[in-house]
Amino acid sequence: MKPFSRSVIELFDGKKRYVIPMFQRQYVWREDRQLGRMWDDLKARTEQRLDNKTTSPHFLGAIVISLLPTFGRQVQAYDVIDGQQRLTTFQVLLNAFRDVARALKSEFADELNKYIVNEGIMEDKAVERYKVWPTQVDRPQMKALVDCGSQEGVVTIEKAELGKKKTGVEPIMITAYHYFHCQIREFIAEPFDETSQDERIEALFHALKHDLALVSIELEGGDDPQVIFETLNGFNEPLLPTDLMRNFVFQRAYREKRGEGDKTPDELYNEYWLPFDHHFWKREEKQGRLKRPRVDLFFQHFLAMKQATDINVGRLYHDYKIWIETEKPYASVEDELKDNVHFAGVYKKMITPEEPSELSDFAGMLNIFDVKTISPLILFLCGEVGLQGTALQQALQALESFLIRRAVCGLTTKNYNRLFLQLVEGLRGKSDVESQLKTELLKGEGDAVVWPDDAVFSLAWLTHRLYNDMPSIRLQYILKRIEQAKRSAMNEDIHIKSSLTLEHLMPVTWENHWPLPDGHMSKTAWVRLLEDTPDLDADKRDQVIHTIGNLTLLTQPLNSSLQNGPWIEKQPEITKQSALALNREFLDYPKWNEDMIKERGQSLLAHALAIWPR
């Protein structure tokens, strides 16, 4: 390695190009984390010059580059191993400075343009004129900044072509340009002692030419780019595990021997990895207490499934690298990428189901019950085993029954990650996987892994205060599933679009409108407790008020209108206004009391046992 000190202007002086490999991450620097600090450094050095104070170079870190072979008329080019965020930011800043200077009709606009575009003879002017050639994801933004020549032009093309909804990519580079354009414009316009705008423009240019610098490290033949990439970080913007993984994969692709017809690394990137750099995969999803980008979570579950062992997302890159290097599971990088994409398709259906299917319905249930640790098992069943149709339906029904029964019984979810990975290990290589899955689930003993039988499930269903024990959204899911089951072939197939809420048929504060069996009105529970006046009938009622037999689904307006009214008012309104099969049966209940609650609980249980069989 050979280190050199270069100022911002010196980096781009002369005909040269910095080529950012296709597999590096998108531009990510933002105002609050990096851009603001860089501008503050530049502004401070410029003000020192305007005050006629002595200045010295302020170093902004390092870049690592490697000379690329060029031929004929090609412009000298460097492969950017590390530091693409800095290099790109400097180019964005120079573009903003040039456009401000041009708007003010300053001669420095043409001077700055020398450090933005290459001029003269070159092999491919459409590509080689750009000093920094970003990844394909960011390339349209860089071309717009360089070629538009004004902020107005950038805004026009941004609205027409570069919005996130149109491209799937957040235009962070454009945002950085607007930030620098605003800061430079305001700085030049500010009165600074008796200096003119031209003097402030010149001072800013010389600060870039002499006062802001970085270390440019040029690699030589024996240097390993991957080792250096792993050890460097970008201006406090941590590399995601998949950033390191991507670099690891494509560095191997560049070293891999290729035969005739084999894809180049750039072609591999465009075909297989490019989708992972789009906004969809960078969006954060909650898993446990933390949020992580979807792409990191996918590879965590993918590697856990492959190795049937728990993977810490913080060590994802290191564990993936060890797996590839020691087990050598793929004959080529293309095979590796094909496998990544295959399983990513399954995971994408899980987290954002696009059309109704067995998997999308099951994924919706997983989101509601927050059981993301089952993901490696689902990747195994759908991606590795390839279960489809009836076989997949049977496997998912068994897993949903296992999860729902345990949730109703109030059993722990703490050991689910270990359990589901053990299932992957136990099922791998077996035939008739859907039947084997049920067999393995039935073997579980103890609260951590048991699949509750009908007796245990029924007791919990009828006696547990599920309204207190489970989040509302989970009870709504259970009742909606029963609603679907209650619709016979004679009923219309109705899709429920309304937002539904849980309603207590006998209200929680029942004392004012709901007399006890002997006709007397009870005091509220807290008054009974305060005055130490036991009421056995009231206590009996309090025991069932939050059980599932006393719960139903209503729209919010209907729920609000009924409130704590007596059954003689509630019953006709519910049966009149609600189209749910779940509520039609209340026509058969002229009164509503503890016995009716228990009776309805038994009726709902019969459906639950059929929906979630063991």
Q: How confident is the model at residue 236 (pLDDT cuts 50, 70, 90)?
A: very low
Average pLDDT over residues 384-393: 93
Quick one: three-class SS letters along 32-60? HHHHHHHHHHHHHHHHHHHCCCCCCCEEE
User: pLDDT value at position 323?
Assistant: 95
Q: What is the mean pLDDT of residues 242-252?
A: 87
pLDDT in tens, 510-568: 777 777 776 676 666 655 666 566 666 677 888 888 999 999 998 888 877 777 778 88
The total of other beta-carbon atoms located within 10 Å of residue 4's CB is: 12
Question: What's the CA angle centered on 274, arms 270 and 276, to 5 degrees?
Answer: 155
Domain ranges of the chain: 2-238, 243-448, 459-611
8 A C-beta contact, residue 188 and residue 200: yes
Q: Which tens digits make up the pLDDT trace of 343-387? A: 999 999 888 866 677 788 898 899 899 898 999 999 999 999 999
Q: What is the DSSP string of 206-220?
A: HIIIIIEEEEEEEP-
pLDDT band of residue 233 (cuts 50, 70, 90) is very low
pLDDT score of 278: 81
Average pLDDT, the chain: 87
- Average pLDDT of the residues in 321-337: 94
**pLDDT at residue 193, as a whole number:** 62
pLDDT tier for residue 3 given thresholds of 50, 70 and 90: confident
Give CA–CA dist 497/7, Å, rounded. Answer: 61
Percent of residues, the chain, with pLDDT higher than 90 = 52
Mean pLDDT of 285-305: 89
pLDDT value at residue 220: 63
Q: Which residue has the tokens 């017809």?
A: 261
How far apart are the C-alpha atoms of 368 and 560, rounded to whole Å? Answer: 25
Q: Residue 235: its pLDDT value, please?
A: 46
- The pLDDT tens digits for 167-222 are 877 899 999 999 999 999 999 987 656 778 999 999 999 999 999 888 888 776 55
Mean pLDDT to the nearest integer, 260-287? 86
Q: Which comes out higher in pLDDT, residue 29 or 585?
A: 29
How is 396-443 classified by DSSP, letter by letter?
A: HHHHHHHHHHHHHTT---TTHHHHHHHHHHHHTT-SSHHHHHHHHHHT
pTM of the model: 0.68
Coarse DSSP helix, strand, coil percentages of the chain, rounded to the nearest 5 percent: 60, 10, 30
Pairing of strands 212-218, 500-504: unpaired
Q: DSSP string of 495-548?
A: ---S-EEEEESS-SS-TTT---TTSPPPPPHHHHHHHT---HHHHHHHHHTTSG
CA of 556: how far to CAs of 293, 433, 475, in Å?
34, 44, 16
